[in-house]
Chains A and B, each alone.
Chain A
Amino acid sequence: MQAYLGILALVGLAAVICAVMVTLSWVLGPKKVTPYKSSTYECGVAPVGDSRERFPIKFYLVAILFILFDIEVVFLWSWMTVFKHSSMEFMRTSFISFLIYMSTFILGYLYVIRVNAFDWDETTSLEPAKLGEAVQES
């Protein structure tokens, strides 16, 4: 457990430094608030609406895919540390189960590639079929 004291000390130190950095300029700098200064920056034009709007679902989809693939690897980390030093019997069994496990990973990956989940260019995302009714009205 003593080895983790270092991490505790470093995390504490980093937190203190970050807090000091952020608050120091708040304390030291001048404060002259004017309505123009405190408006949102939009290239000099008065801001149109605010930014709490809908954004493309694609970002959310990528995050879900990340969680799926990352968790699959997370389960393997503990196996990675013992695999090399283990007995032949354990090695054989665990290697076969590893291959079966990875085949689910690869199948999932191939499916995701097949359904074009990573295509970001405009011709696929602005395809009329995907945009639905809105295009035909305009």
Chain B
Amino acid sequence: MIQWLQQLMEGFAKWPPIVQAVIRALLLVLPILTLVPGIIWYERRLLSWMQDRIGPNRVGNFRLPAHWKILPPGLRGRKFKLFGLLQPIADGVKLFFKEDVTPASVDRVIYFLAPALALFPAFALGATIPFGPYTLLTPVADVNIGVLYMLAISSLGVYGVVLGGYAGNNKYSLMGGLRSSAQLISYELSMGMSLAAIVLATGSLRMTDMVAMQEQPLWGMGGYGQIFQNWFILTPYGFISGIIFLVCMVAETNRAPFDLPEAENELIAGYHTEYSSMKFAVYFMGEYAAMFIFSAVFATVFLGGWNIVPINWGFLADNSPVLNGLFGFMKSMTIYLSPIWMVGKIIAGLTFYIWLRATLPRLRYDQLMSIGWRSMLPLATLNFMAVATWIFISARYGSAAGIGMWVVAGVVVFTLWRLLKSIDKGADLEVRTVKMVGGKPAPVVEVDPERVAEAVN
């Protein structure tokens, strides 16, 4: 089996490079296209379980006819349940055949272009993500600008939303588009900064190098410390970066709690108010494909790529007194089944998205901007500078000094944080008190009558 696969790969390597490239691209795009309905089903089911409902569970249940003689006797008249898995596909087919209502006042060219522009980056984003150690098949293009390419393409996503909002010639769409442009832009900054810290620690923009870096021993430990892998989420700077990236990726994909561009209670449907039929579905698909790919980026950059757990099975198999065979088996399984582990991590990321949506209420717009610019950006910048200092100090004075630097950095960051709080006057918020019916009254806050009078005027 493995020999046969190796021969197949050798034959594949001899094909013209453009054919190989197209096959690699198909291997990325087709799974995403097939998985998007699955993701939608998964979200609807999980969300309904979290809300004590059942969710879509009917479409796809069927019974094989009892009188068909072609079937083996055991299958005749047998019921099959697909747990509603075909629901999104049925919805998609219906949407294809619905009328494409184009309002008279829209800007025609942009109106047609915008959904395509929203879906395009979601597919093009995955070009540099490795799904396993098979260099012939999996990163569609293993270029040395991997992370930069990812950031560049993800920033194209703004166009689809803003142009969609503009083209509709509808006030709700326009507001949604504007909001989302400011939101995506703000969070992209912190996202770039958080990835910059990781790039600095890796010394390469190539995604495969990042995964290779995470297979090194944890915190550069020697001896039996080599058992563990140096996943970036387990290092102090990588942990901070990881949290920032996680928040930014939720904001970048316009998902709850950052789904202000499509806040339905104030903006109808936000930037896609005027879109119907498949054009609306294209926006929808773009969102889910982007969720998938951003989870993949998070898994690759912070969660050790295709490795299943942060353990060096190879080192264990060579050095352990017992169970060498088991560890060797785990090593080969980590390599052979790597795409499965990767997809498992992606599904964990999607679950996180859905969990967030079920848990958190939507943010207010000023809160959103405040989180992006006042918390995420300074934290990411300080983290980035701390990584640069750490690399310099450990190269100059040895790794012990490097570890000492992290303690100093913690103190400095805390002090700077307090300093920033004192410099930042913050918004003067109006004070309102609410008394719930039957409940305890909210604590009464002292209100300066002059300020209230000013605010009212």
Interface of B is mostly: helix
A21 touches B423 (CB 8 A): no
A46 at the interface (CB under 8 A from B): no
Which residues of chain A are within 8 angstroms of B385 by Cβ–Cβ distance?
99, 102
Can you sample 25 A-B contacts with CB below 8 Å? Answer: A5-B18, A6-B142, A7-B127, A10-B140, A11-B127, A13-B22, A18-B116, A21-B278, A21-B282, A24-B278, A25-B96, A25-B100, A25-B281, A39-B104, A40-B168, A47-B105, A47-B170, A76-B196, A77-B205, A81-B205, A84-B200, A84-B201, A92-B392, A120-B365, A123-B430
Q: A25-B277, A119-B427 are in contact. List 18 more A-B contacts (CB 8 A).
A: A5-B141, A9-B25, A10-B25, A13-B22, A13-B123, A28-B96, A39-B105, A40-B274, A41-B172, A51-B168, A56-B178, A80-B199, A95-B389, A99-B385, A110-B423, A113-B373, A120-B369, A123-B428
Which residues of chain A are within 8 angstroms of B408 by Cβ–Cβ distance?
none
B120 at the interface (CB under 8 A from A): yes
8 Å CB interface, A70-117 against B: 70, 73, 76-77, 80-85, 88, 91-92, 95, 98-99, 102, 105-106, 109-110, 113-114, 116
Q: Which of B72-80, B184-192, B301-309 contacts A (4 or more CB under 8 A)?
A: B184-192
In the assembled complex, the CB of A6 is this many whole angstroms from the nearest CB of chain B, namely 3
In the assembled complex, the CB of A56 is this many whole angstroms from the nearest CB of chain B, namely 8
B170 touches A15 (CB 8 A): no
B116 touches A22 (CB 8 A): yes
Among B139, B144, B204, B274, residue most surrounded by chain A Cβ atoms (within 10 Å): B204
B182 at the interface (CB under 8 A from A): yes
Query: Knowing A38-B102, A51-B173 touch, does A28 contact B97 (C-beta < 8 A)?
Result: yes
Which residues of chain A are within 8 angstroms of B143 by Cβ–Cβ distance?
3-4, 6-7
B378 at the interface (CB under 8 A from A): yes
Q: Name the CB-closest residue of A to B197.
A: A80
Interface of A is mostly: helix
Query: Knowing A13-B25, A25-B100, A123-B429 touch, does A118 contact B373 (C-beta < 8 A)?
Result: yes
Which residues of chain B are within 8 angstroms of A99 by Cβ–Cβ distance?
385
B95 at the interface (CB under 8 A from A): yes
Q: How large is the interface on B (under 10, 10 to 19, 20 to 34, 35 or more residues)?
A: 35 or more
B196 touches A84 (CB 8 A): no
B67 at the interface (CB under 8 A from A): no
Among A8, A10, A19, A119, residue most surrounded by chain B Cβ atoms (within 10 Å): A10
Chain B residues close to A by CB (< 8 Å):
17-18, 20-22, 24-26, 28-29, 33, 95-105, 112, 115-117, 119-120, 123-124, 126-127, 139-144, 148-149, 168-175, 178, 181-182, 185-186, 188-189, 192-193, 196, 199-205, 268, 273-274, 277-279, 281-282, 285, 365-366, 369-370, 373-374, 377-378, 381, 385, 388-389, 391-392, 395-396, 420, 423-425, 427-430, 454-455, 457
